[in-house]
Structure 1
């Protein structure tokens, strides 16, 4: 990237396709990031909560992850905003990527030695702040470096990395490293190695001080709010992203209990692994195919609409037919739909960002749409399961949320 029409390279719209080596480094950095988040959430934190307070393990786990989620909501756009205003000779993003990975690793080491709930909360807050900062800068690398006609392909890789990070994290801390402290330490090492490789082997354009956005406290805080009236396409795309995340969370968070209580499967744990395996393979296929064909056609919205329809169909299958056969059919449908959506979503979202000067901050706001469903969905699901129809209502709500997302994307005018 070079200076274009008086604008520095850091703010210019990229036109040169990124190489496979750059894609690979971003891919592995994202795997490390998601492994560092989901291995603790899936295995390590619940185990630690039970060790510290077996009688109240559910409350301890919810408290720790809930406080961490609140930290995430603040850290992601804030660190993104700070990186937008960084004029370091090392670049705008790389210093914060490395700092976020380091802070996250420190938090994981704190968790490895946590002897009470208070220290556990502190450790997870450090992890949430650091890794969400890393997420903000890694995500902003896409509009910084990737041309518009290559973004769906890169978005597909990012979606795959999230799924692989989740699966590999579970394998790491249940099969390869079985001690609780060892699991945290292994996660910390992988997070830092992925960040170091990306920072040392990829370019990051510097921002001259003359182009630094306004830094007055009042203006900085005001910039965290993006006006839907001034930037309607961003608002519609954000709302679509939130609804897809909510629908996916409603459809996946309670699958283990669904298999046990509604399907009455004899071995629900193995059943869930089979479902997630089908989901993961289909997600990879959907992400790769949608990313390829979307970039070739330079169209985005038809793929979102198709993905929303497939995900809604998967949810409705589980709403009407609550048996093991239906579960085996719905799992790959949900996976291929979500993979296709994730590939195209980043291409759309990075095309409707309000300003090049605030890419990381604005993508931090986008990432709130990823985090909020993890808070909202369990609350909604609790009401649906207890009072409004059980699992049929839960999966019907998942379908409705996804259908709404499909409607919302049609309101985006600047993307085809």
Structure 2
């Protein structure tokens, strides 16, 4: 089995990551996305419809629960990233948090399966976000720890492929398992097993105790602010990722309801699975190729910009062509754009990190640009759908937000 050499934990990696290491890290990443998107695509929506009190719209319940979970995610990701930076275990900085996070996430999904009220449902989802973000923060930090810059587009591509396969697998498990409870249990099992190959088969470089930063709340809190004036490239890269993810979150949040209430699909659950599969096929066709191509030409910005424009066109189709064929075309185009964006933007982000000693914390702050849209999207989408024009206006807003994010990538100066 090919493994990358284990560098000193704070060194800039120079040896290429092996296929076995990349595959096992990708599998662990995919397992986390199963734990997130089985609930987000199917289970939480069904549970919200079952548990919504009389007189309360299911959309509002879903928005409140997912928003609360995303708020927890925003705090958990940089917090656990910072803790992993300071971990001097003989098992390394990242592996202990990956293992603890996936086991905790599996347990939280089991608790969520038994939720009988909206507050219990919200608590369960917040625990899922807390624990799985601990693992996700460690996984994303492992890439700048172990992968040289010239290979990060490709590795980001494989992580992105695992991400979408995790979304498909989670959606599939939630759909075919046979009910809400069975769906949560199936996702929990996948989450627990998927990270084991990475934890058991690969050595994580240890941080010498003498190099461990001070573990104080004052030091932790002070480190969570990165001045965009001192690090403008990181600021613009973060804003680009946030806006493109916000546009995508607005497009996907009410997909089940869009199919049922606007397109009047007889089997909206199955429709979500079909659209997710179409999206996955086109995404898988571009995510690794886009990353490899970006590595080869040594440029990131043109790929991110082009991907954002393609996603804007796709979201516009949901607004202007509200038919099942239109939804299929939009899903395909979203896959093309998001595939390239996923791999290349990930590589771009690793190249604007300020310091090697804080990779976990800094990647956690960057990952807020993934989580914050899950808070902002429900707050924006619910009033738009209910009072400001419905789904057509929602998808127009989503397209405009994503396009703005794509254009802002041109403000980055030190990454081509």
**Structure 1 residue 193: deviation in Å?**
1.7
Contact 1:107/1:124 (8 A) holds in 2? yes
**Contact 2:168-2:273 within 8 A present in 1 as well:** no
2:151 match: 150
Residue 201 of structure 1 pairs with residue 168 of structure 2 = no
**1:22 aligns to what?**
21
Give structure 1 regions of 4+ aligned residues with deviation exceeding 6 angstroms.
Answer: none
In structure 2, the residue matched to 1:77 is 78
Q: Secondary structure at the match of 1:166?
A: helix
Once the two structures are superposed, the pairs formed by residues 8-407 of structure 1 within 5 Å of their partners are: 9-52=8-51, 55=54, 56=56, 58=58, 60-175=61-176, 177-178=177-178, 180-260=180-260, 262-263=262-263, 270-407=270-407
Count of residues paired in the alignment: 411
Distance 2:44 2:323 in 1: 31
Instruction: Give the direction of change, closer, same or farther, for the CA distance of 1:342–1:116 in structure 2 (3 Å limit).
Output: same
Q: Aligned with 1:10: secondary structure?
A: coil
CA 1:118–1:306: 2 relative to 1, 3 Å = closer
Q: Flag structure 1 segments of 5+ consecutive residues without an equivalent.
A: none
Contact 1:46 1:57 in 2 (8 A): no
User: Would the alpha carbon gap of residues 109 and 273 (structure 1) be closer, same or farther in structure 2, given more than 3 Å must change?
Assistant: closer
Q: Distance in 2 between matches of 1:164 and 1:276?
A: 10
The whole-number CA distance in structure 2 between the counterparts of 1:200 and 1:364 is 24
Displacement of 1:245 in angstroms is 0.3
Deviation for aligned residue 1:187 = 2.5
Rounded Cα–Cα distance in structure 2 between residues aligned with 1:66 and 1:315: 22
Q: C-alpha distance in 2, partners of 1:401/1:120?
A: 30
Q: Distance in 2 between matches of 1:114 and 1:318?
A: 34
- TM-score by structure 2 length? 0.90
Report if aligned partners of 2:5, 2:15 keep a CA contact under 8 Å in 1.
no
Deviation at 1:166, TM superposition (A): 1.8
How far apart are the structure 2 equivalents of 1:48 and 1:386?
20
- 1:147-179 CA-to-partner distances (Å, cap 9, x unmatched) read 11111111122222222112212222332x325
Task: Give the CA RMSD over aligned residues.
Answer: 2.5
Alignment TM-score, normalising by the size of structure 1: 0.90
Change (3 A) 1:184 1:382: closer
State how far apart, in whole Å, the 2-side matches of 1:301 and 1:180 are: 42
Gap change, CA 1:18 and 1:410, over 3 Å in 2 = same
1:292-344 deviation line (CA, Å, top 9, x unaligned): 21111111111111111211222233434434443333221121001110010
User: Alpha carbons of 1:14 and 1:273: their partners in 2 closer, same or farther (altered >3 Å)?
Assistant: same
CA shift in 2, pair 1:314/1:81, >3 Å? same
Is the 8 Å Cα contact of residues 175 and 270 (structure 2) preserved in structure 1?
A: no
